Amino acid sequence: MSTVFDFSAKLNNGKKKQFADYRGKVLLIVNTASKCGFTPQYKGLEELYKKYIKQGLEILGFPCDQFGHQEPGSDADISSFCELNYGVTFPLFSKIEVNGDDAHPLYKHLKSEAGGLFGDDIKWNFTKFLIGRDGTVLDRYASLTSPESIDRDIAKALKA
């Protein structure tokens, strides 16, 4: 059975990142966008990251332009926007697709492990997946779920 640690993706600086490097960490994987009503969630994500990084949390942001063309910029534009507006320090990856034939293999895996309420496809920006230290998907959260509201789940996963 595969886990998140079997995948890799390109960081927004162009370097390939093996997720095996995150083995033993709790991950929160989020598809993001800079021009979305949920974009202010970057602030809450960064707060969670700062609160829990020393305990083993990594937040991984995956910009995606599949929902209302709300992530039109280049990887450099996205990185700059996130840093300047929200002080984002967690890793951002290159823009990907999360649905359809060209969906990133990581997202195909995540969706197969934790389907959504109305089917497996990602419905909008800022869908979140909580991954345990063993690389298995613990939970999936809809866009409406604020980062602050999953603090307890993250703390529980970090203690496991």
What positions carry a catalytic annotation? 36
Distance CA 140, CA 17 (A): 23
Is residue 106 within 8 Å of residue 4, measured between CB atoms?
A: yes
Phi (first) and psi of residue 98, to 5 degrees: -110, -15
Are 153 and 140 spatial neighbours (Cβ–Cβ below 8 Å)?
no
- Identity of the amino acid at 66: Q
